[in-house]
Structure 1
Amino acid sequence: MTDYAPLVLQTPAEHPFAEFVRILGKGKRGARNMTREEARQAMGMVIDGKVEDAQLGAFLMLLRHKEESAEELAGFTEAVRERLNAPQLAVDIDWPTYAGKKRHLPWYLLAAKCLSQNGVKVLMHGGGAHTAGRLYSEQLLELLGIPLCRGWQAVDDALAQHNLAFIPLGDWAPQLQRMIDLRNTLGLRSPIHSLARILNPLGARCGLQSIFHPGYQAVHRDASTLLGDHAIVIKGDGGEVEINPDTISHLYGTTDGQAWDEEWPALSERRHVKPATLDTQQLVAIWKGEAEDSYPQLALISTIALALRGLGMPRVEAFERAEAYWANRNRSI
C-alpha cells in the first residue's frame, strides 16, 4: 500500500477592507448604506493606503451606483479632516471648483476676485482637468491674477496679501486627487468629486457647494448639518458655484445645525443664448469694463450675492451690496 499524506487546506485571511465592499455590494436585499462610523473607518483606510486597488475601484463604483447617504458623506469628511494637518487660517468662504465649465465661461472666478477686493477672504480649490471638453479654474488663474498656491504657507501669504488663494487638491490631499484621476480608468466620476466639495479644509465661515445631480443637493446639505458646518448648496451652472440667472435657484442652507431653504427667482425673463465658443479673453474684457454682456453681469452679481448670503446677509441686502462691489471694483488685473 502507498501512504498518502493528508491534504491540508488553509483558508486565506479576509482583507479588513472587504467588509466595507460587502456592505455596499451584497445584492439587492443584502446591501445597505454604511453607518457614519463605518464610512469614517473605510475612508480612513483608503487615505492611509491600506486598501488594494481592486477594492478601491469596487468601493468607489458601488458607491457611485448606490449614491452616498448624508451619513456616509459625513463619515468620509471626518476621516479626511482628521488626516489633513491643515493650519488654522482665517477664511470667510470655502469655494470648491471641481466641475469645469463647458456652456459658459467661469464667471465665478471674477465673483471671487471681486469679493476679495472687498475684504472677503476666499479659499478656492480644485482637482485639475479630469474631463475633456471643459474649462477649469486652474487654466485661468494666471490670466486673472489669482494666486496659485502649492502649500498652506503660500495660501496664508496669498490670503494676507490678496484675500484670495487657489490651492490644487493634489497639494493638500494627494490621495483624493489620485481617486479623482481614476475617472478615465473607471469611465465614471467617483464620489470623491462630491466629497471634495464638502471638505472645507480650513474651516471657513461658510462653505459654498455646487451639486449638479438632481435631488442630491439636500443630501449634501444634510451631511453638512451632521458635521455642524455652515454651508449653502446649489445646483450651480455646469456644476460650479455660479448662479445661473436664467433659472430659479434653490439654496439649501444649514446654519448652526439647522437646515433652511430659500428660493431665488430667475433674473432674466428670457434665456440667454449660450456663446458659440468660450473665449477666455472675454473674462478680462468684462472685468476691465471693456465689454458689456447681460448674462455674465447677472451671473456675477448673483454669485457675489450668494457668497454674501452665506456670510449671513439677507438676500435683498446681499444683492445691493453685490452690485456696489461690482460697480466699484478695481479693474486692473
Structure 2
Amino acid sequence: MAQATSEYGEWPLKRLMTEVVGSGHKSAEDMTREQAREAFQRILDGEPDETTLGAFWLANRWKRNTPEELAAFVDVMREESVEVAAPSADPVDCGANYDGKHTSAILGVAAGVVAAAAGTPVVVHSGDRVPTQKLDAYKHVLDELGATTDLSPGESADLVDDVGFGFYYQPAFNPGVDDLFERRDMMGVRTYVNTVETLANPADASVHLGSFYHLAFAKRMVKTLKKSRRNPAERALFFQGMEGYDDIRPGATVVAEWPSDDAEADENGILDYEIRTSEYGMDIQGEDLEVEDVAGDSATITEEVVAGDREDAFADAVELNAALRIYAREDVSGLDDGIAEARAAISDGSAAAVLEDLRSY
C-alpha cells in the first residue's frame, strides 16, 4: 500500500483505486469529500503516475461521480487553480462544454451580446480545442469576430463592466486544469474534469446557466452547486442544449431550474419543466441550425443577427437563447418578456453597439 505523505493525506490515487473506486462500476464505492479533495489536489500538483491517473479517471467515469465528489473537485479547483476576477456587475455565468461543437452554430456569443444590450450582463468562458473533441468553442467564434480573447482575468472583468459581455480564457484563469491538457487528450474519453471546468465561475457570478443531455445529470449538477463551498452560485438554469452546448435544442426542451418554491419542485428545490420552442418563435428543427464552418459561420450569423439583418431560424434561436439568459438572472418574469427585450435590443441598434464595443475593446 502507498504510504501517506506529509504534503497530502493518506489517500494516493493508487490506494483509492485499490480500496475505493477501482473495483468496477457495480462494486466501486464513492469517495468521501476529503478523499475526493485530496485526489484532485494531487492531480493538480502533477503528483500521480500517468498510468494511475488515467486509471483513476476511467474508474470515476464508470462509477459516475456523486455531487459530493464533484463539489469537492470544484472547490479544490477554485481554491488552487482558478484566479477569480469579479466584475462590479453580477453577470450570468454561461458554462458550456469546453470541447466544443462539430455540427450546429454556436449561438451563445450572439445571445450573450443581445442579452447584454437588454441590460443583462453575461460571461462566457472556454479553452482552446479542449479534449476530447477539441472542436470550436466560444473562443473561436470570438476570434473570428476579431475580438481579443487572450485576456487576463482582470481584463476579462473590466470587459464585462465596460461592455456587458465578457470572455474568460481558461489558460489565463484556470492554469492548473489547462496543464492537464495532454493527459486528458491521451484518455480518448471525457472525464469528470470536463464537468467541473464548466463550474469554474471565474467571474464569481451568482447565476449559472448550463446544459445537459439528460435530466438526471442536470439535477446532479444542481446538487453539486448546492454542496460546493467555493462556487457562489445561488441560482441555476440547466437545459437540454444542442451537442451538449448552451444553445437551446429546438422542439421540446427540458429545463431544470433551481431554486424554486413551486409546488412541483422536488426536495432539493429543483423544478423541471418543458419548453416547446415553437411557442416562442423558434419553430424549427435541429438541422435548421447546422453549419459547415462552425466558428466562421457562427461569427457571420452573430454579426447579421445583432445587426437585424436576418429574420430566419438563426435569428429566432438567438432571441430565445438571449431571453433564457435574461430570465436566468430574473431580469424578466418569463420568456415572452425576455424575447420582447431581446427584439428591442436588436431593433434599436443596442445589440450591434455592444458587438462593436466588444470587437474594438
TM-score interval (norm. to shorter): 0.7 to 0.9
Match of 2:243 among 229, 238, 245: 238
Task: Give the deviation of 1:12 after TM superposition.
Answer: 7.0
SS at match of 2:94: strand
Q: Are positions 1:252 and 2:262 aligned together?
A: no
Listed one character per residue, the Cα deviations across residues 51-96 of structure 1 (whole Å, up to 9, x for unaligned) are 2222221111111222221111111111112223524433311112
Partner Cα distance (1:290, 1:134) in 2: 28
Q: Are positions 1:78 and 2:75 aligned together?
A: yes
> Given residue 277 of structure 1, which amino acid in structure 2 is its aligned partner?
E
> Given residue 34 of structure 2, which amino acid in structure 1 is its aligned partner?
E
> Given residue 253 of structure 2, which amino acid in structure 1 is its aligned partner?
S
Q: 1:194-205 alignment to 2 at 5 Å?
A: 194-205=195-206
Runs of 5+ in structure 1 lacking a partner?
1-10
Partner Cα distance (1:133, 1:59) in 2: 22
> Given residue 68 of structure 2, which amino acid in structure 1 is its aligned partner?
E
> Given residue 311 of structure 2, which amino acid in structure 1 is its aligned partner?
E
Task: Give the deviation of 1:211 after TM superposition.
Answer: 2.4
Bigger mean CA offset, 92-101 vs 141-150 = 141-150
Q: Are positions 1:277 and 2:292 aligned together?
A: yes
Identity of aligned residues (%): 20
Aligned residues: 321
Aligned structure 1 segments of 4 or more residues deviating by more than 6 angstroms: none
The residue aligned with 2:23 is 26
The residue aligned with 2:93 is 94
Asked if 1 retains the 8 angstrom alpha-carbon contact of 2:100 and 2:136, the reply is yes
Partner Cα distance (1:212, 1:164) in 2: 26
**Structure 1 residues 27 and 106, CA, compared in 2 at 3 Å: closer, same or farther?**
closer
Match of 1:290 among 309, 326, 347: 309
The residue aligned with 1:7 is none
Asked if 2 retains the 8 angstrom alpha-carbon contact of 1:232 and 1:253, the reply is yes
**Structure 1 residues 167 and 192, CA, compared in 2 at 3 Å: closer, same or farther?**
same
TM-score, normalised to structure 2, is 0.79
Partner Cα distance (1:247, 1:309) in 2: 19
Partner Cα distance (1:141, 1:31) in 2: 43
> Given residue 325 of structure 1, which amino acid in structure 2 is its aligned partner?
A
The residue aligned with 1:6 is none
Match of 1:264 among 260, 275, 278: 275
Q: 1:139-154 alignment to 2 at 5 Å?
A: 139-144=140-145, 146-154=147-155
**Structure 1 residues 53 and 232, CA, compared in 2 at 3 Å: closer, same or farther?**
same
Q: 1:11-22 alignment to 2 at 5 Å?
A: 13=3, 16-17=11-12, 18-22=14-18
Partner Cα distance (1:124, 1:236) in 2: 15
Asked if 1 retains the 8 angstrom alpha-carbon contact of 2:83 and 2:173, the reply is no
Task: Give the deviation of 1:214 after TM superposition.
Answer: 6.3
The one of the two structures with greater contact order (alpha-carbon pairs below 8 A, sep at least 6) is 2
**Structure 1 residues 137 and 12, CA, compared in 2 at 3 Å: closer, same or farther?**
closer
Aligned Cα root-mean-square deviation (Å): 2.7
**Structure 1 residues 296 and 179, CA, compared in 2 at 3 Å: closer, same or farther?**
same
Return the index of the structure with the highest Cα Rg.
Answer: 1
Task: Give the deviation of 1:171 after TM superposition.
Answer: 1.3
Partner Cα distance (1:258, 1:133) in 2: 35
